[in-house]
């Protein structure tokens, strides 16, 4: 079961670092903040799930289910924010604008090198 937590931790790292990488820094501020919130919720949920898995039988069943419920809320909020970005379509508009700027820059570079 550890590999699922590792995948969620990696996804959290990707989403949390996305607002600080290259062309994604030109996205609207609220989208960058949403990516950061998704990344932090996945990171926190992954670390908490791993800690709960390692704690195992040392915690009482009621505390185990309480922590597990909070972990599900963390993952659910991250997935909810991703769905909000996808359904609103704003993320795709921003990515299209970034791609268009990249293509214009490549065409300008090719025109200068000719």
pLDDT tens by residue, 32-90: 899 999 999 999 999 999 888 888 889 999 999 999 999 999 999 999 999 998 999 88
Instruction: Work out the pLDDT band at 1, boundaries 50, 70, 90.
Output: low
Q: What does DSSP assign to residue 60?
A: -
Give pLDDT, residue 9: 87
Inform me whether the pLDDT recorded for 112 exceeds 70. Answer: yes
Give the Å distances, CA to CA, from 48 to 31, 52, 53, 76. Answer: 26, 6, 8, 14
Q: Is the pLDDT of residue 8 over 90?
A: no
Tokens of 3: 């590999």
Q: What is the 3-state secondary structure (H, E, C) of 16-59?
A: HHHHHCHHHHHCCHHHHHHHHHHHHHHHHHHHHHHHHHHHHHHC
91 has pLDDT over 90: no
- Max avg pLDDT among 4-8, 34-38, 90-94, 97-101: 34-38
- Rounded to whole angstroms, the Cα distance separating 20 from 90 reads 19
């Amino acid at each position: 079961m550890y590999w699922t937590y590792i995948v969620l931790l990696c996804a959290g790292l990707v989403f949390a670092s996305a607002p600080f990488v290259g062309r994604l820094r030109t996205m609207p501020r609220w989208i960058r903040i949403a990516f950061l919130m998704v990344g932090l919720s996945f990171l926190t949920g992954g670390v908490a799930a791993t800690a709960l898995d390692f704690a195992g039988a040392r915690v009482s069943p009621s505390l185990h289910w309480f922590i597990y419920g909070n972990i599900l809320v963390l993952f659910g909020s991250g997935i909810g924010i991703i769905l909000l970005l996808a359904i609103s379509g704003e993320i795709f508009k921003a990515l299209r604008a970034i791609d268009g700027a990249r293509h214009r820059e490549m065409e300008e570079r090719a025109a200068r090198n000719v």
